Structure 1
Amino acid sequence: MFAASVAVLLGAWNNVVITRLPGYPQSYVPVNLAATGLLLAGARFAGTTWQELGLERRRARAGIGWGGVCAAVVAAGYAVALAVPAVRPLLADARLAGAGSGEIAHQALVRIPLGTVVWEEVAFRGVLLAALLRLLPPRTAVAVSAALFGIWHIRPTLSAARANTLADGGAGLFAVVLLGCAVTAAAGVLFAWLRLRSGSLLAPVLLHLATNSLGALAAAAAHRPG
């Protein structure tokens, strides 16, 4: 029952709920942080242990090690992409075109880490995965959590596609959104594998943070002369 409730909540939250809450988008970070706390409290009330959630203190070192290596690989990838003239424009995001340094810093240091990464990792690789592992074999639990992670990204992918004019017409837009959600579902598999391999939620947190925050910095840099 708890796993089903969490799955339904996450399936709706990012696509329907968050945008309809008062104060959005300014409320994005505090609301998601509050949701993180409430979801963790609910998991603990349901009997989920810190170990199951990937928040056991003794596994932190392993999580930092695995996550740190992955984050370094991502950072190197962005650096190479920015250095190659043919690839650099592919990193550009119209939503950050002309953004000032303060707005970019807020995105990379506040909105993404606190409003996106912490919330998504606690929700998907922490609470949801722990709940599913009590009911399903590991591979099935990972697949279900990854599929929901892909569904979670329907609205953000649609928003990015429209902002960057990635497709013309409904069919093209549908294809872009489908591809984007498939990619994020695949990322969900990787994040879950890191969580289980390291025994710590810190591993996927660090990789997710590097991918999104450094991605925002790279997107902003791609709009400027190399």
Structure 2
Amino acid sequence: MTHVPDPRPGSRLVRRRVRYYYLLIALVIVMFAAETTMHYTHYTWSRWIVTITALIAVSLAVGSGLRADDLGLSPRTWARGARWAAVIVLVVVVAIALALAIPPLRDLFLNDAYRELGWALYSAFVLIPLQTVIPEELLFRGVITGALLRRQSVAVTIAAQAVLFGLWHVVSSTGLSAGNDGIGDVVGSGTVGQVLGVVGAVLFTGASGAVFGWLRVTTGSLLPCLALHWAANAAGAVAAAFAWKLG
């Protein structure tokens, strides 16, 4: 039987790329659905839905061909990543401590969720790492960044995951101005304050996502991203508790 060559040599490659982007879009949709579910439900299991989504996404990514290098988890980057992580945690903690010592800046830490120091510490060392930092970094700087780097330039990859990371915080920031007295005093209350709070959160986290992405690409490791994300959120939670006590 005579073999008939494909009249369009690149057609299979195009189909594979289209399928690849469809899968990536599907992952993003599932991620955002999980985040929305977690925010608007109050079941114990729903608190862990983003964590579960991240673990499943990583498993599927590895099964589809992404390697430890693609995910920023290669053992050869651990030493360099750990050095960056140590410096980052130190700098962030010192910066937050200094801000806490300045009364006008201290007010920005007045988050209603962390009025009690015990709860703030539990959140900082258990809930924030397991429910926020690790799953979000695995999803955005791990799977999404690793997948995009296989098809796109570094600049496009960093920009794309940063935009997605900013939009990721739309749902979680809807009550930002009402739940944080310091931010509420700045942007105001009511609908206008809520909108300004969301826009500000999206812009800030989008810019943060660009920094995280740059760290991920520069070091080749997820550790600096995990360190920066954890230090900012966890130290911020503990600082909130101290802000309430000092206030």
Partner residue in 2 for 1:5: 26
Secondary structure of the 1:172 match is helix
Residues 1:119 and 2:135 aligned together: yes
Instruction: Report how far residue 66 of structure 1 moved.
Output: 1.2
- Assess, with a 3 A threshold, how the Cα gap between structure 1 residues 30 and 203 changes in structure 2: closer, same or farther: same
Match for residue 210 of structure 2 among 189, 193, 197: 189
Residue equivalent to 2:108: 90
Equivalent position of 1:179 in the other structure = 200
CA distance in 1, matches of 2:205, 2:78: 25
Q: What residue number does 2:82 align with?
A: 64
Q: Kindly provide the amino acid, as one letter, of the partner of residue 227 in structure 2.
A: L
Aligned length: 221
* Structure 1, unaligned runs of 5 or more: none
Partner of 1:39: 57
**Higher normalized contact order (CA 8 Å, seq sep 6+, divided by chain length):** 1
Please say which structure displays the higher CA radius of gyration. Answer: 2
Partner residue in 2 for 1:217: 238
Q: Deviations over 1:141-196 (max 9, x none)?
A: 11111111011101111122222362333233212211110100000000011111
1:92 and 1:28 map into 2 onto residues whose CA distance is 26
Alpha-carbon offset, residue 44 of structure 1: 0.7
Shift of 1:119: 0.3
Cα 1:36/1:59, change in 2 over 3 Å: same
The alignment's TM-score, normalised by the length of structure 2, stands at: 0.83
Q: Percent identity?
A: 32
1:104-132 Cα shifts (integer Å, max 9, x gaps): 22211111011100000000000011111
Residue 204 of structure 1: aligned partner: 225
Task: Decide which of 128, 132, 156 is 2:172's aligned counterpart.
Answer: 156
2:18 — aligned with what?
Answer: none
1:104 aligned to which of 109, 115, 120: 120
Q: Does 168-177 or 151-160 show the bigger shift? A: 168-177
After superposition, the Cα gap between the structure-2 partners of 1:10 and 1:32, relative to the gap in structure 1 and judged at 3 Å, is closer
C-alpha distance in 2 between matches for 1:29 and 1:118: 14
Q: Distance in 2 between matches of 1:54 and 1:159?
A: 33
Q: CA deviation at 1:2?
A: 2.6
SS state of the match for residue 224, structure 1?
helix
1:137 aligns with 2:158: no
The answer (yes or no) to whether the contact 2:39–2:172 under 8 Å persists in 1 is: no
Q: Deviations over 1:19-64 (max 9, x none)?
A: 456x53x335543332222111110111111101001011011111
Letter in 2 for 1:57: P
Q: Counterpart amino acid of 2:31? A: L
TM-score, L = length of structure 1? 0.90
Q: 1:85 to 1:163 in 2, by over 3 A?
A: closer
